[in-house]
Amino acid sequence: MGNYLVTGAAGFIGARVSALLLEAGHRVVGVDELNDAYDPRLKEHRLEGLRAHDRFRFERADVARPGALAEAAQAHGGGGFDALVNLAARAGVRASVERPALYVAANVSGTLECLELCRTHGIPKLVLASTSSLYGSHNPRPFREDADVSRPLSPYAATKGGAEALAHTYHALHGLDVSVLRFFTVYGPAGRPDMSVFRFVQRIREGRPIRVYGDGSQSRDFTFVDDVARGAVAALRPLGHEVINLGGDEPHAVNELIALLEERLGRKAEIEREPRHPADVPATWADVSKAARLLGWKAEVGFAEGLGRCVDWYEAERAWAADVRTD
């Protein structure tokens, strides 16, 4: 039985990673600020499932506040963790343009606090969440992990690049085993409401207009949350220092996403067009050969199946999910 510390445990990916670890018989200490970056009801909904496990403990703390993570760890024995999975972050490309300081605090300072905890408490392994946004718009697709990531297009991507650099420094200086996972457009039930899948499901179902930036031809390598969580758990093995893509390896255009949801919901979308945002990249596509080689991982949930699960969850939770703010 392992003992794991998961930051961002009430978040979309963090809750699923925590659940998989618990289902495998491990102990999990989850830490989350429970901020209002989006509707906290979603975070409480995810936490409710985790709290059903007697091997789960939760601490409310802002990992970017100096010492807060160490205090949370101390409350549960002060150490003895097999790994720290850092999934606490401020996410969102467009929002980062408006409030970049929040992203520096959460994504850079927060990562530094995690790294310091590993160093001072002898935690041998860090799994760090990163992003496909680092690849920008200048790299050939599919994106390989050795591509140039020196030209990010948003503060969000830039702060994730900074977190990656800090993690490499702690590997080089202190021998910390680090797996950096670059996620590609994660979606699924109880997902982030600022992302297209949740937003489109809710708005099409409720007869509200959806906003599309550009002509809808832009594509994303959508990756189902269960697949991403499996990859994060697989990355807990000793690897030294590795950067690994986790993506569906099958890009889909926004127009295709809308068409599939219209079919599943039996309703037509009312579309409001906006100019393309300069922080958005035109397309993403992951080369996942490294994940296959090092983790034995590949995405298993197809796009249509994954969207169906999102719709089914929404219908089951519609009494409150219909009121969740999506912009």
Series of mean pLDDT values for 10-residue runs along the chain (327 residues): 96 98 97 94 97 96 96 81 96 90 96 97 97 95 97 95 98 98 98 96 98 94 98 98 97 97 98 87 94 98 98 98 94
Q: Which two tokens stand for residue 296?
A: 């034995």
Radius of gyration of the chain (CA): 19
pLDDT given for residue 282 in this prediction: 87
Cα dihedral angle (290, 187, 220, 265), rounded to 10 degrees? 140
Q: Which two tokens stand for residue 82?
A: 């097999």
pLDDT given for residue 136 in this prediction: 93
280 beta partners: none
State pTM to two decimals: 0.96
pLDDT given for residue 79 in this prediction: 63
CB 33 within 8 Å of CB 61: yes
5 beta partners: 29, 84
Residues 9, 115: Cα–Cα separation, whole Å = 17
| Catalytically annotated residue among 4, 103, 135, 156 | 156
Q: Is the dihedral of CA 262, 263, 264, 265 positive or negative?
A: positive
Q: Show the domains of the chain with their CATH numbers.
A: 3-321 (3.40.50.720)
Token pair 């003895």: residue = 80
pLDDT given for residue 70 in this prediction: 94
Annotated catalytic, 156? yes
Number of neighbours of residue 40 by Cβ within 10 angstroms:
13
Q: Which two tokens stand for residue 230?
A: 């499996």
CB 262 within 8 Å of CB 210: no
